[in-house]
Structure 1
Amino acid sequence: MASKSSKQWTTAKILSYGVGNVLNDMCASSWFSYLLVFLNDVAKLSPVDGAIVMFSGQIADGIATPLVGVLSDRSTGFPSIGFGRRKTWNAGGCVLVMLCFFFVFGACLPRWFTDAPSSTVLVLYYCTAASLFNVGWAAVQVSHMAMVPELSSNDNIRVILNSVRYAFTILSNVMVFIAFFFLLHDVSPYNVPDQLKFTLLTIFTMVVGGLCTFYFLIGTEEKCGPTNVAEIQSLRARRNSPAVLDHGHRGPADMPFEADLAPMTPVFATATAMTWKCWFKVCMFYEVGMVYMCTRLSVNVTQVYIPFFLTISLHMNAASMAIVPLLVYLSGFVATFGMRYMNDRMGREGTFAFGTGLMVLSLIASWYLTIETSHWIYPLSTLLGFGQSVVMVTSVCLEGDLVGDQNESGAFVYGAMSFTDKISNGIAVLLIQNARQALTNDALADAYFVRQIYCLVPGLAVVLGAITLYWMRYGSGTLNLKPRRQSVHEGSQLLHEEGSYGTARV
């Protein structure tokens, strides 16, 4: 039977699954890298109003992701036309993503009715579109990831599906950055990120992403549901695994890394498991949360403010806004290949410290860049991307260490950290943009402030994460007591043993 299942997976079917998230990936590339630039320079919103729009999207993403997972699990889809619950949610999410993405970057609906809509109308409009976009994005992301364990019980097939999916994630990001570069370079007015270029980029994204989604929907054969109790329990455990949950809770603000995928062990209902309330008694829950939040903050702030640093502080042309993020992304991808070796040789804290050092070195050097030496940002961005990849993957590994084999309550852990991450990043951008608004009429002060934000905030955040990680090793000692990933019963006992697994000591 296994042999038969394996023969059914032709190259065409594997590719059809792999392209199912291309629309999401292409939209995500533009969303967090260029949303504030678009809102400030094209939509003419104030810095604070632009931050409010982004913050509304972050809130919607944090709330929608776990809700989509629950609702998707409980739905049935339309089996009569070959659409199970996952493809149904994926198709609906794609429609919502395309509509909202177009009405953010491609066209402004209020301007169809009046030439000068008020700022209040524009803010409400973009907040609504951003929130709905993130809901659709979550529906596509969660449903696509959740299909993997349901499509095949063959571990090799699952690895292939995840690998092909990640390959298309890389390709999607590269396509967007290259397309934006050529639009800035070849479409008049040159090196000006105006409405026309964003509209063309939106159309390109929707055409390519839409075709890939169509191929996924017609080419991927989805099971309509598990057939027995054992399969239901196994699927529940796999959907709650660290790899699936972390990818599911990453919004369009985040960079994907497949290297942190971990083996997924089924958990059955008869095993002893921790409840979500138990995690509040675990010291390591708060420590890992701090590391995770600091890591995400450092990465997201650099991602958002790279375009402003390049154009406002270094006075580089707009084409650099496409080249530098591309270099960061590609170098981060290369770094993932050495993650297992670094973790084996240096441990969690050593690997994180190494990534922190690379990031801090890049950011310190960037602080001293001038208009004349601005070309050095290209090698420095490569160094930054490498360091970001190292700390991000390590932070996800720490989450896996925390959850251990507690897959049944792992959803709460990943959901809680994801929500905290999105809220903290949204608040940070809101505060930064509020400070920038006071400098609107002082270009030199604004340029210096952007330099401070880009070079100092991410560096301080990642250093705080590294300090917390070393505290876990040499202070509280929780990193020394991480559970062995062998059995659920064994992991759950760590909560109740005195002084174990980071429990509070009295």
Structure 2
Amino acid sequence: MTAKKAKQDELSFPMNKRLPFRIYIGYALGHVLNDVCAAMWFSYLLVFFHLVLGFKSGEAGVLLLVGQVADAVATPFIGYNSDKDHHWWIYRFGKRKIWYFMGSICVVLTFPFIFSPCISCQTASRLSQMIYYSFFIVFFQFGWAAVQIAHMSLMPEITSNEHQRTKLAAVRNGATVVASVLVYLVTWGVLQISGRSDKKIGAEDAARFQHIVWSVMVFGIVCSILFYIMIKEPLATKSGNEENYIAPISFKKIFLNPNLYLVGTVYMTSRLFINLTQVFISLYLSESLDMVASSLALVPLAMYIASFVASIPVGPITNLAGRKLTYVIGAILGICGCLWIHWGQGNNFKTYYIFVVSALLGSASTIVLVSSLDITTSLIGSKTSRGAFIYGIMSFADKLSNGVAVKVIQDVHNEDDHAGFYQDIMTYVCGGVLILGAAVVSMVNNRERKERHDMRGEAFRTSISTIT
């Protein structure tokens, strides 16, 4: 064996061997900065702009739509360029990780301004303020998309083993849950310390949102640094490496594959359910149930604790039941939670049963997300040279649909509407996208029947194992 070959074997991931524990941990940490920002973005953006800054619900919806459109446009562009070998000197660090680095910088430099009062323009016209916030939102979403695509496209390149890919998706989701739990714990702690936990959210809470943002972002920055140190991008994806080269699949073949559109719909509906639940749960608690400020942290916290618990068995369940059936199980749990919201009312519901509902929604979120990611990596298979582009297509549909959905809902919402408006959104919209996802997932063809057979055979050896 040549010295060059030995060096490659030393640095590359063991594609068909058991992954070291540090790889799982390092990979899980890589998306935490994005996760804490996403938890703030989806859970509190409308709350902050509508209830704290006094924007109309439609204006707040426009800002969220601007962000989602910017993200949607950026993802295919980033995916395409992340897949290319540009032969630039900066690509020595890895064509995935360089996009990860640039995206992280954009996120850190812009996100704190989104949850701050307009600097030197608080008395300016509403249009001027919206342009001000849109500037930071666009650059933040570009950075967020770069981190997401780079991180997701590393998954099928770290290992070709489907079981290990499922584990990576599970630990990634577990880290997402931990990051979201941190956001809600910090939010609850800040409100408790300030003595605002038993009051409604209002204009006097602006400074507290800044404290929350900086607290969680410091944690996210540390996690990103650890990811960059712990994860070495496989040499097969770096510029100038011709060994083990696989010719990129043509764009025509990608777009003519019916599974692309089916899998894209499954992924889109999964993200729609998760994000719309995050966006409107706080408004549902505040406006429909008339609950105090602390509930805006405690109920989502319970939801994400349940999500974390559900992430532990989802890998073995997928191996035993298959990706599609696992997705349907998650959808059923989520639909049950949505139906309970429709009928839930009274003090007992607000005091006790709302936490059971949040557990159902949280468990469903984890199961459908991990299943949809698993289905997407199966679509990519070994053709990882177009992996980032395919993830970009999925994310484009996800971001655009989320932004349009929120904007339409906020436009439909009248300030004088009945208190049950957001209750209906949580029931019919969130439940409806799960029904659509469950219907479409049944039409997705498995990439290889043998692969599923092998995964089920392996399940007898791994069904009760955790990441070791």
For 1:204-240, what per-residue CA distance to the aligned partner results, in whole angstroms no more than 9, with x for missing partners?
Answer: 1333334444566678777995563015x3xxxxxxx
Moved more, 291-300 or 194-203: 291-300
Answering whether residue 365 of structure 2 is matched by residue 388 of structure 1, we say: yes
Answering whether residue 168 of structure 2 is matched by residue 196 of structure 1, we say: no
- C-alpha deviation, 1:299, in angstroms: 2.3
Give distance in 2, aligned partners of 1:65 and 1:300.
17
Counterpart residue number, 1:229: 242
Contact preservation (8 Å) 1:300, 1:425: yes
Contact preservation (8 Å) 1:76, 1:84: no
For 1:71-127, what per-residue CA distance to the aligned partner results, in whole angstroms no more than 9, with x for missing partners?
Answer: 455364559xx9666555444333321221111113422xx1x44121111222222
For 1:58-77, what per-residue CA distance to the aligned partner results, in whole angstroms no more than 9, with x for missing partners?
Answer: 11112222323444553645
Counterpart residue number, 2:419: 447
Counterpart residue number, 2:185: 178
Counterpart residue number, 1:464: 436
Counterpart residue number, 2:294: 319
Answering whether residue 124 of structure 2 is matched by residue 117 of structure 1, we say: yes
Matches within 5 A, 1:237-256: none
For 1:373-425, what per-residue CA distance to the aligned partner results, in whole angstroms no more than 9, with x for missing partners?
Answer: 21211111101211222223333333345444554455554332321222112
SS at match of 2:313: helix
- C-alpha deviation, 1:434, in angstroms: 0.1
- C-alpha deviation, 1:24, in angstroms: 2.4
Number of residue pairs aligned between Structure 1 and Structure 2: 430
For 1:111-169, what per-residue CA distance to the aligned partner results, in whole angstroms no more than 9, with x for missing partners?
Answer: x1x44121111222222211110111123334455667889999999999988866654
- C-alpha deviation, 1:46, in angstroms: 1.2
Counterpart residue number, 2:146: 139
The amino acid across from 1:42 in the alignment is V
Q: Taking CA–CA contacts closer than 8 Å with sequence separation of 6 or more, which of the two structures ends up with the larger relative contact order?
A: 2
Counterpart residue number, 1:257: none
Matches within 5 A, 1:350-365: 350-365=325-340
277, 289, 307: which is aligned to 1:302? 277
Q: TM (normalized to structure 2)? A: 0.78
115, 131, 146: which is aligned to 1:105? 115
64, 82, 96: which is aligned to 1:54? 64
The CA RMSD over aligned residues, in Å, is 3.9
Answering whether residue 111 of structure 2 is matched by residue 130 of structure 1, we say: no
- C-alpha deviation, 1:330, in angstroms: 2.5
- C-alpha deviation, 1:279, in angstroms: 4.2
Moved more, 10-19 or 37-46: 10-19
Contact preservation (8 Å) 2:74, 2:145: yes
Contact preservation (8 Å) 1:291, 1:469: yes
Contact preservation (8 Å) 2:266, 2:440: yes
Instruction: Give the gaps of 5 or more residues in structure 1.
Output: 234-267, 473-477, 487-506
Rate the CA distance shift 1:143–1:413 in 2: closer, same or farther, 3 A: closer
- C-alpha deviation, 1:450, in angstroms: 1.0
The amino acid across from 1:483 in the alignment is E
Give distance in 2, aligned partners of 1:163 and 1:277.
32
Contact preservation (8 Å) 1:23, 1:206: yes
- C-alpha deviation, 1:322, in angstroms: 1.4
Contact preservation (8 Å) 1:314, 1:369: no
The amino acid across from 1:426 in the alignment is G
Give distance in 2, aligned partners of 1:334 and 1:142.
26
The amino acid across from 1:391 in the alignment is V
For 1:254-304, what per-residue CA distance to the aligned partner results, in whole angstroms no more than 9, with x for missing partners?
Answer: xxxxxxxxxxxxxx23xxx75322344444433333333333222221111
Counterpart residue number, 1:208: 219
The amino acid across from 2:213 in the alignment is T
Give distance in 2, aligned partners of 1:289 and 1:157.
22
Instruction: Give the gaps of 5 or more residues in structure 2.
Output: 1-5, 13-18, 452-468
Contact preservation (8 Å) 1:23, 1:212: yes
